[in-house]
Amino acid sequence: MNLFWKKLFGGITPTAKLEKDEAELVKAMHRYAEVEKSVELAEYKKLSHIIKSAKFQENKKILKNRKYKDTEEYRVTKKYKKLHNSPAIKLYYHVLESDILKQFLNFKKTPDYELLGDKKKVQASENLRKFKQFEHSKEYKTYIRFHNSYIIKEYEQLETKIIKPEFIKANEFWANENRWHSTPEFTQQQRFHELAKNEDIIFYINEKPERFKNYRSLKPTFKDEFEWNTLDKSHWNFGFHYKSDQLIASHSFANEKQANNAGKNISVENGILKIATKHETVTARAWDVSKGFIDKEFNFTSDVLQTANTFRQKRGMFRAKLRCAGNVQHAFWLGADGKLPHVNIFQYDGKNITLGNANKNVVDGIKITGLNASKFYIYSLIWSDKELIWLINDLEVYRTASNIPTDSMYLAFNSFISQNQKGSAGSLEVDWVRAFTIA
């Protein structure tokens, strides 16, 4: 696969942009999750449901648009004021409390009351004249008119009603032209508008959570940003891994031109892991298929790095940001206890990039051209029960459903020079490596 045109016309996102976009996406995803479980968002959603309901909106219209004169409180107050200010009713209560009325009513209970019908006796008695005069007075006629009347009963009922605290409160409420602003509903509405201006809630509402779908399914299981400076402080071991502890791990192969240097060619500087391939002559242990371990003189040194004793995983996503240089083979791969299965997430042969899967003595892979391996790219493998998918940055470059591994596998990096290569000094630089399980 030639990626030259993909790279030229934007078919593959530049590494720096991809990292920036992914970092922003992960940050947004975490922020979304935090806001989603916040008290403020729960309150906003609750208030939104209330305020946008037909019941709330109808009640708001009533509270804002109803005229005071259309209320029961207005009718009661107006009726009461009319009766309270009536001269006749005022006179009635004035007479009701007067001494002359009390005297007259007591007088009416006596036999002498009958004497009021005798003009001569009335003329002869000052007391009878006083009662006779009161009986024909406006005051007494007002008393007779209103005493035990419906209108007085109504007035007194109204008076009892308007002095009750709940009536006073309701009357003051409906009499207030700005009554809406004094309601709990208005307070709810104001709080809703306040929350609607909250930056986190604005972010949450405008966010499209479906864009987090792929990232939400990833659970980090391994991460190395290379902040250590010695191997014993890391998750890595140098040398190859073998199931038996009795087998020698630190060695090279007789058909290669570099000696693996027991971790001496591995360094970390400014957060970058580096496996250096150096042009130097050394004598080191090498495995020969027919002779076993032999001592061999090599013209180059390099190294192998793996997590066999610290991290293994079956299925998931495995990623590394790396670059390499030199007429050297560099690889990022997954290994198991035996020679197979073996999955190359990235391999560079000094000219081209290859990737693929070896299992059951079958090799399944692809060659990538048109990509400058000396530039940082992110090489990824997605491993499921059904298939293996390789990506360079965000571009899928290969997938296969053949020879899916069934072992838990470890991470490994190494650099080597094959027998057919001229070879040179070079380097494999890794900015970071990460692994995830996929839900």
User: Are residues 51 and 79 located together in one domain of the fold?
Assistant: no
Does residue 430 sit within a domain? yes
pLDDT at 203: 97
Does residue 188 sit within a domain? no
User: Are residues 335 and 398 located together in one domain of the fold?
Assistant: yes
Does residue 377 sit within a domain? yes
The Cα–Cα gap between 397 and 404 comes to 17
Does residue 388 sit within a domain? yes
The Cα–Cα gap between 372 and 347 comes to 13
User: Are residues 339 and 390 located together in one domain of the fold?
Assistant: yes
pLDDT at 360: 65
Q: What 3-state DSSP class applies to 248?
A: coil
pLDDT at 8: 53
Cβ atoms within 10 Å of 313's Cβ, excluding its own: 19
The Cα–Cα gap between 394 and 378 comes to 8
pLDDT at 11: 81
Specify whether the CB–CB gap between 328 and 277 falls below 8 A: yes
User: Are residues 92 and 227 located together in one domain of the fold?
Assistant: no
pLDDT at 1: 77
Specify whether the CB–CB gap between 293 and 344 falls below 8 A: no
User: Are residues 47 and 140 located together in one domain of the fold?
Assistant: no
User: Are residues 112 and 205 located together in one domain of the fold?
Assistant: no
**Surface-to-core class of residue 111, CB atoms within 10 Å of its CB (0-12 exposed, 13-18 middle, 19+ buried):** exposed
* Total count of domains within the chain: 3
Q: For every one of its 439 residues, what pLDDT tens digit does the chain have, with 9 covering 90 and above?
A: 777 556 655 689 999 999 999 999 999 999 999 999 999 999 999 999 999 999 999 999 999 999 999 999 999 999 999 999 999 999 999 999 999 999 999 999 999 999 999 999 999 999 999 999 999 999 999 999 999 999 999 999 999 999 999 999 999 999 999 999 999 999 999 999 999 999 999 999 999 999 999 899 999 999 999 999 899 999 999 999 988 877 788 899 999 999 999 999 999 999 999 999 999 999 999 999 999 999 999 999 999 999 999 999 999 999 999 999 999 999 999 999 988 899 999 999 999 999 999 776 666 889 999 999 999 999 999 999 999 999 999 999 999 998 899 999 999 999 999 999 999 999 999 999 999 999 8
User: Scanning the structure block, which residue is given the tokens 């909250």?
Assistant: 198
- Dihedrals φ, ψ of 361, to 5°? 65, 20
**What count of Cα atoms within 13 Å lies in the side-chain half-sphere of residue 195?**
22
The Cα–Cα gap between 392 and 321 comes to 10
User: Are residues 85 and 129 located together in one domain of the fold?
Assistant: yes
User: Are residues 28 and 106 located together in one domain of the fold?
Assistant: no
User: Last residue of some domain: 156, 182, 208?
Assistant: 182
Q: pTM of this prediction?
A: 0.76
**Strand partners of residue 346:** 332
pLDDT at 244: 80
Quick one: tokens of 97? Answer: 């409390």
Type and span of the H or E element at 88:
helix 87-96
User: Are residues 237 and 114 located together in one domain of the fold?
Assistant: no
pLDDT at 375: 96
pLDDT at 6: 67
Specify whether the CB–CB gap between 225 and 432 falls below 8 A: yes
Specify whether the CB–CB gap between 300 and 281 falls below 8 A: no
Domain that holds residue 208: 4-59+193-216
Minimal CA–CA distance to 332: which of 289, 286, 377, 386?
377
Does residue 66 sit within a domain? no
User: Are residues 330 and 361 located together in one domain of the fold?
Assistant: yes
